[in-house]
Amino acid sequence: MTTMPPRFPITAEQIDLVMSRFYAKVRKDPVLGPIFDGHIDNWPQHEAKIAGFWRNAIMFERSYDGNPMRAHMMAGDVRAEHFDGWLALFDEVLETTLPADAASAWSSLVHRIGRGLRMGVQDVQKPAGDVPIFD
């Protein structure tokens, strides 16, 4: 089987560093921190799991086992408006941690995934029978 090249040049170590810095900021954030704290008991384990998600999404490693859409939709306290802050923190960490090309490429992927998660959260919070929002 041929291994697919990464979407853009990046190392597993860089992904781990981004996750560490990102979640350090999330824990300090007055809005996002309490939400994440309510769901995460083991931060190092969570960071490693999400780093695996990003290695899968970027480097096509098949080490991630999870369903982020389901996790966000079922959390109960994650709202569509939380994604703006989440994306801003992610972009800040990318810009200060990675070379510009890698930061820009990862940011594009983050925003695409963030839009999907936001739509899923909006949809699950709508009353049954309402038309979904696609923005």
Phi-psi region of 60 (alpha: psi -120 to 50; beta: other; left: phi over 0): left
Round the average pLDDT of the chain to a whole number and report it: 88
Give pLDDT tens digits for 24-55: 999 999 999 999 999 999 999 999 999 999 99
pLDDT at 3 over 80: no
pLDDT at 37: 94
Q: Which tokens sit at 46?
A: 């969570």
Greatest alpha-carbon pair distance for the chain in Å reads 46
pLDDT at 120 over 70: yes
Q: Report domain extents, the chain.
A: 12-125
Q: What is the mean pLDDT of residues 119-134?
A: 64
Q: Which tokens sit at 123?
A: 């949809």
Q: What is the pTM of this model?
A: 0.85
Where does 12-125 sit in CATH, by number?
A: 1.10.490.10
pLDDT at 82 over 60: yes
pLDDT at 12: 95
Q: Which of 18-27, 70-79, 119-128 has the lowest mean pLDDT?
A: 119-128
Q: Which tokens sit at 107?
A: 């940011």
